[in-house]
Chains A and B, each alone.
Chain A
Amino acid sequence: MLGRTLREVSVALKQGQITPTELCRKCLSLIQKTKFLNAYITVSEEVALKQAEESEKRYKQGQSLGILDGIPVAVKDNFSTSGIQTTCASNMLKGYIPPFNATVVQKLLDQGALLMGKTNLDEFAMGSGSTDGAFGPVKNPWSYSKQYQEQRRPQSNRKREGTDWLIAGGSSGGSAAAVSAFTCFAALGSDTGGSTRNPAAHCGLVGFKPSYGLVSRHGLIPLVNSMDVPGILTRCVDDTAIVLGVLAGHDPKDSTTVQDPVKPFTVPSLSDVSKLCIGIPKEYLVPELSSEVRSLWSKAADLFESAGAKVIEVSLPHTSYSIVCYHVLCTAEVASNMARFDGLEYGHRCDVNMSTEAMYAATRREGFNDVVRGRILSGNFFLLKENYENYFIKAQKVRRLIANDFVNVFNSGVDILLTPTTLSEAVPFLEFIKEDNRTRSAQDDIFTQAVNMAGLPAVSMPAALSTQGLPIGLQFIGHAFCDQKLLTVAKWFEKQVQFPVLQLQGLMDDCSSVFENETLPSVSVKQ
């Protein structure tokens, strides 16, 4: 039952094959079994069971709220949830209980969804591995898959030590691991520079970043206001469309949501792609791209071509400056956004009490990790009076050039761009932490962040397994506010590739023993 898609399980609920409470308990039990993945920071068991009970009543009375009624979902721990701890994986917000729900959370609950818990991330969503949070790293469920165990290169020493697991990608790695390990049917992530698409690619999921302005950010604890969007992680495109249909639309509490009326997002099954023009941006062919991803990317292009679509090479000339531009704008907005955490009204407060400034400084030293502090300092540097023009304004100008690159390509008749999502498949944790967070983010966000700067919709689609048996994702990028068209093309691709299901069954017992042998698995391997 847990392996089904959201739509399938919704039908099962409707037909009474399973009750919301039974479904909820199954998920809770799997969350317990897969605790070693560290996907959840908070499991909201009581809340979920109570919601399930109410959902069950509705089903009995024939008054179900719709397709999401009784469906277990998870939410990244940087969305405010009323009465449930919201930490951003930071010591700064440990124990913080928001008095309100983020708009997207409220919309899910209004449809009867069951909130299973809050998922793990990089501290304040700053990272690309879900390794830099105060609650330890997230482990990629594919590390324990039959596919990977059979195919991977032998590294017996590491295997014995239990440290050979792979990163989940980030920063929404907890949400990705939660959906991928079948503990819920959909999860919310956030996407500022690729944080939903990157872990989706590494965990073999559909990871969707909507157009900026389509989905409310109210209650999403901001990282970069001009780029943040809530993201959706599911196991298939139809499920993403269902969730998007619920979330999309104007929110009076977020002035950056557009007022265009939103129609329900039905994604038709495309039978004919011959009228489509797919653009392949040549600048995305970088030397660091692994040969496997490269060949898969080209196979995908061939797939469209052989089905009659027009596939052309296009140029986005400012691509190589995009990650640099993103770095400046991101740190500058972070410096400003993180100023709210001062220890006075909420969150961590240090014991220093001799002056307000000393209290602020000590609170922030104790509350933020090195990555966050580093970005705050960089951002403040770029915003200094003497640097403002040369760095911040300069980056805003380059941002326009990058956004214009996309406009030009789309105006030339291209419908959808096809690119890789990541340079390679997921790497082992020990490999990943060899580089610092900034370097890693610069590499890992290379294909994803330009989309955020231009506000476009994009989706990472699982394309195939690598020779090691790990998922590889490809990214589709659409015109602004043509999210539905983007998902339609993604759905066609999904149908062609028939991506294999993660095989965890049968290995679950081994996984449990891995967990029992490790004391505090997440802390012991922290860098």
Chain B
Amino acid sequence: MSARALWLAFRSGLGGRQAFSTKVNLQGSGRITVEVIEHLERLALVDFGSREAVARLEKAIAFADRLREVDTDGVEPMESVLEDRCLYLRSDNVAEGNCAEELLQNSRQVVEEYFVAPPGNISLPKLGEQESFQHS
């Protein structure tokens, strides 16, 4: 439970940003539903943090929508400008290494030769859950 409380504090108040809650009435195109916002925040592991950020996304989408005007029937998507060239893959042999110690030095938390992560089987609370938690 204390973990949840911490998470909430982090979501709602850090840095003086206004928490983004389900109650925010979205201005603009209104295309971005609360579900989408929540989904994106989980996928990106980045939160919107403010109404302005949602408005920015809506503007970005409106801008991207101009692509619809282009006729792309029968056009193949282009992934790389080098698509018509043979690209070289080196053989899968170890060419360098033995730098574990050096690499570990850039990590904030290590034990012996391991990176340390917090418990991994707890997913982010849903916005709805947070609210009910907040009210309880």
Contact = CB atoms under 8 A, between A and B. Distances in A.
Say if A and B assemble together: yes
A255 B89 contact: yes
A381 B61 CA distance: 9
B118 A346 contact: no
Given A345-B103, A355-B118, A397 B53 contact: no
Given A96-B106, A99-B102, A455-B82, A357 B123 contact: yes
Given A345-B115, A361-B124, A397 B76 contact: yes
Contacts of B111: none
B60 A378 contact: yes
A321 B66 contact: yes
Contact of B77 (A359, A368, A397, A442): A397
Given A382-B64, A438-B56, A353 B118 contact: yes
Contacts of B56: 374, 436, 438
Interface in B59-109: 59-61, 63-64, 66-70, 72, 75-82, 85, 87-90, 99, 102-103, 105-109
B108 A357 contact: no
B66 A403 contact: no
Given A354-B6, A394-B72, A368 B46 contact: yes
A393 B70 CA distance: 13
Contacts of B78: 396-397, 399-400, 403
Contact of A226 (B39, B59, B81): B81
A370 interface: yes
Contacts of B4: 354
A309 B61 CA distance: 44
Nearest to B43: A380
Nearest to A211: B81
B25 to A, nearest CB: 20
Nearest to A354: B3
A258 interface: yes
Contacts of A343: 108
A390 B36 CA distance: 16
A325 B118 CA distance: 39
Interface string A323-343: 011011001000100000011
Contact of B44 (A335, A398, A454): A335
Contacts of A365: 10, 14-15, 46-47, 49
A357 B109 contact: no
Nearest to A255: B87
B107 A344 contact: yes
A397 to B, nearest CB: 4
A365 B45 CA distance: 8
A255 B80 CA distance: 12
B64 A328 contact: yes
A118 interface: no
A15 to B, nearest CB: 40
B24 interface: no
A11 interface: no
B67 A376 contact: no
A362 to B, nearest CB: 5
Given A226-B81, A403-B81, A356 B120 contact: yes
Interface string A213-224: 100000000000
A511 interface: no
Nearest to B59: A438
B46 A352 contact: no
A480 interface: yes
Given A252-B88, A364-B46, A357 B122 contact: yes
Given A393-B77, A394-B72, A356 B66 contact: no
A252 to B, nearest CB: 5
A391 B67 contact: yes
Contact of A376 (B44, B68, B69): B44
Interface in A3-47: none
Given A354-B6, A356-B117, A256 B67 contact: no
Nearest to A392: B77
A354 B79 contact: no
Contact of A358 (B66, B77, B124): B124
B27 to A, nearest CB: 16
Interface string A368-386: 1010011011101110100
Contacts of B118: 352-356, 358-359
B133 interface: no
Contact of B60 (A327, A353, A361): A327
Interface string A431-448: 000001010001000000
A155 B57 CA distance: 37
B64 A327 contact: yes
A362 B10 contact: yes
A355 B3 contact: yes
A349 interface: yes
B16 interface: no
A455 B3 CA distance: 49
Nearest to B61: A381
A346 B67 contact: no
B17 to A, nearest CB: 9
A226 B80 contact: yes
Contact of A352 (B10, B77, B115): B10
A349 B109 contact: yes
Interface in A91-105: 96-97, 99
Given A357-B122, A398-B67, 14 more contacts: A212-B81, A318-B70, A324-B67, A327-B64, A346-B107, A349-B109, A359-B118, A361-B46, A365-B49, A377-B53, A391-B64, A397-B75, A438-B56, A455-B82
7 contacts: A96-B106, A335-B44, A349-B107, A360-B45, A395-B64, A396-B79, A442-B63
The 10 nearest A-B residue pairs measured at CB: A455-B81, A354-B3, A396-B77, A355-B122, A400-B78, A346-B106, A397-B72, A349-B108, A397-B75, A378-B60
